[in-house]
Every structure is written in C-alpha cells, then in structure tokens.
Amino acid sequence: MDIALIGYGKMGHALEAMAPERGHRIVCTIDTDEEWTSKLPQLQQADVAIEFTMPSIAASNLRKCMEMGVPVVCGTTGWYDAYDEIVTLCRQKGGALFTATNFSIGMNIMFALNERLDQLMAAHPEYKASISETHHIHKLDAPSGTAVTLRQQIHRDDVPIESIREGEVPGTHTVRYDSEIDTISLTHEAHSRRGLALGALMAAEYLNGKKGIFGMKDLLGY
C-alpha cells in the first residue's frame, strides 16, 4: 500500500522504518501547515493515512482526510470530545476511520483480560481498584487514552488513575485490586514503539478498501 504519515515525530519515524518490512511505501509525511499544501497531491494518492500528532490538532487533521476521501488510521489520543462529530462526517462522506487508544497487540490482549477481571471482581467489593500509567515526558495528555479505556472497562465508581511522566518510557500500564489480604495486578509494559507501529500498520492493512468506523476489536476479533 501507499501510506501517508500525518505527524513525523517518534511514532512517524517508527512507522516509516517498519512499513517497508510489510511491503508498504511511505509516499509522504506531513508535519506542518505548509506541508498540508505542498504535499496535498501525494496525500490524495495514498491508499491510507496514519495520523499520530497532538490532541489539539488531531480532529482537524481527520476532518481534512475525510473531506479528501482518504481513509485514516488515528493513533492520537485526547481529542475524543470531537469523536461524534468526526464519526458523523466520516459517514456523510462515505469514508473510513480506524481509531484506537493503543495499537499494541499485547495491550489489546490486556484490555480483554481487564474486562474479564472486572467481571470476576464484581462479587468482591472488598478490593479497591486503581490504575497507574507511566509515559515519556513528551506525552501531552494525562491520563493516557489507554488508561482511560482501562478505567471505562471497570464497573466501579471513582477508580483513580496515577499518571507519571519520566524519561523516555514508551508506556507502562497497571491495573491493581488491593485488599487487606492480597493484591491482584495486571501490567503491560511496552519495550519500544515498534509494537504500536506494527499495530497501526496492521490497522491500515485492515482498513484498506473498507468504509465505516473500526477499532482494534474489529481487527483482532476479540
């Protein structure tokens, strides 16, 4: 496939490095307002765009892709106040959108485990649930979109999230259930951005030729 990268930070570079391994070509990278104009022809020729930018501009980038009819995979989090609007626009334009709070295959397995653990813990209110997440100092949203997803899966009131920003940590998430007797915990620790890049490229492959709104459960069949 021909892929356009919207956002050319660390994730953009990771995607650029991995795409040829899966037989894909990066036809353009867009990282500035000027490049939205100068590289528009290349973007319009792309089979799919992959968007990893910032919460403040993600929705605008998605609108532009929808207007041009370019299918888009979005890995940015923290823009979901505009989610309903973007979904409506996508459907109006007959477009395709794949969103996820985390593209790591391992993290999505943890999502499935977290849902099952929540079911099991429903009969044990003596356990107090909490979440912690640690990311690199460059991450702009807190708590992370992944931590918010984990909290949404837990059917208890006021599950606290501790957000830590330090060094160049790719991402570590832990769900804990503490009681006076013991502690149960689930942890996912990313070792690099390659797992996120792989999942995003798999999402792009899945999205190619489709119309509608999709997520990791569609890709993985969980």
| Residues 79 and 164 placed together within one structural domain of the fold | no
What is the residue range of 23's domain? Answer: 2-103+194-220
Shared-domain flag, residues 68 and 114: no
Instruction: Identify whether residues 168 and 129 lie together within a single domain.
Output: yes
Predicted pLDDT at 96: 98
Q: Could you give the CA distance from residue 134 to residue 114 in angstroms, rounded to a whole number? A: 18
The C-alpha atoms of residue 76 and residue 79 are separated, in whole angstroms, by: 8
Give the total residue count for the chain: 222
pLDDT along the chain (222 residues), means of 10: 96 96 97 94 96 96 96 94 96 97 94 97 97 92 92 96 95 97 97 93 96 96 81
Say what the pLDDT of residue 78 is. Answer: 87
Do 94 and 204 lie in one domain? The reply is yes
* Structure confidence at residue 48 (pLDDT): 97
Tell me: do 79 and 169 sit in the same domain: no
> What's the predicted TM-score (pTM) here?
0.86
CATH code of the domain in which 128 resides: 3.30.360.10
Tally of structural domains, the chain: 2
Give the pLDDT of residue 198: 96
Q: Are 48 and 73 in contact (CB under 8 A)?
A: yes
pLDDT in tens, 188-208: 999 998 999 999 999 999 999
- Residue 222 pLDDT: 74
Same domain, 23 and 51: yes
Residues 172 and 212 both lie in one domain: no
Residues 90 and 136 in one domain: no
Residues 143 and 210 in one domain: no
Q: Which of 89, 39, 37 is nearest to 67 (CA)?
A: 89
Do residues 90 and 135 both lie within one domain? Answer: no
Provide the annotated active-site residues.
135, 139
Which SS3 state, helix, strand or coil, does residue 23 take? coil
Helical H segments across the chain, by residue range: 10-18, 33-38, 40-45, 55-68, 83-92, 105-121, 145-153, 194-207, 216-220
Q: CATH code at 43?
A: 3.40.50.720
Residues 6+ apart with CB under 8 A from 152: none
Same domain (yes/no): 99, 199: yes
Give first-to-last CA distance, the chain, whole Å: 26
Residue identified by tokens 């409506």 is 88
Query: 99 and 112: one domain?
Result: no
What one-character DSSP code corresponds to residue 132?
E
